Amino acid sequence: FEPTDALPSLAAAFVREHRLSRGAGCDDADCVAGALVDAMRDAVRRASSPPVRPRALPPYSGHIDTDLDTQGDVDIGAFLVRTDLAQAVGFPWTHHAADFAYLRAVRAELARRGLRARKINQTLYVHN
């Protein structure tokens, strides 16, 4: 696809052609098409601008948003969330990238409240 293409139409046609109705945290075809459009727009944006900072880890099966942490304030797999924020966001996701969907939702709730994530340089928890 090209940046000038009608991405929603392309995504909807792809979803219909492949009979997609679930995936990426979605439970219906419209949601899958929307997630596909978001991924396509992200790909166009990433292709047209240099990365903000180098990634420490490669993308995981194409489902991790490579610019989820452009400010460098989150270590994936090691983040804490205030109880009131966690309760407001909930955790309805059951797919393999649920932690990323959760973090994205927490970020949206932070923005809605006029707050931001903060990184601290301290080990809070270690497991293996």
Q: What is the pLDDT of residue 95?
A: 77
Q: What is the pLDDT of residue 125?
A: 62
Q: What is the pLDDT of residues 49-103, one digit of tens each?
A: 765 554 444 444 444 454 555 566 666 656 778 899 999 999 888 877 777 788 8
Give the pLDDT band of residue 9 (cuts 50, 70, 90): very high
Which amino acid, 71?
Q
Q: What ranges in the chain are assigned the alpha helix state H?
A: 7-17, 29-48, 83-89, 98-112
Please give the backbone phi and psi of residue 55, each rounded to the nearest 5 degrees, phi first: -85, 140
43 or 48, higher pLDDT: 43
Section 101-123 average pLDDT? 83
Mean of the per-residue pLDDT values of the chain: 77
Q: What is the pLDDT of residue 42?
A: 86
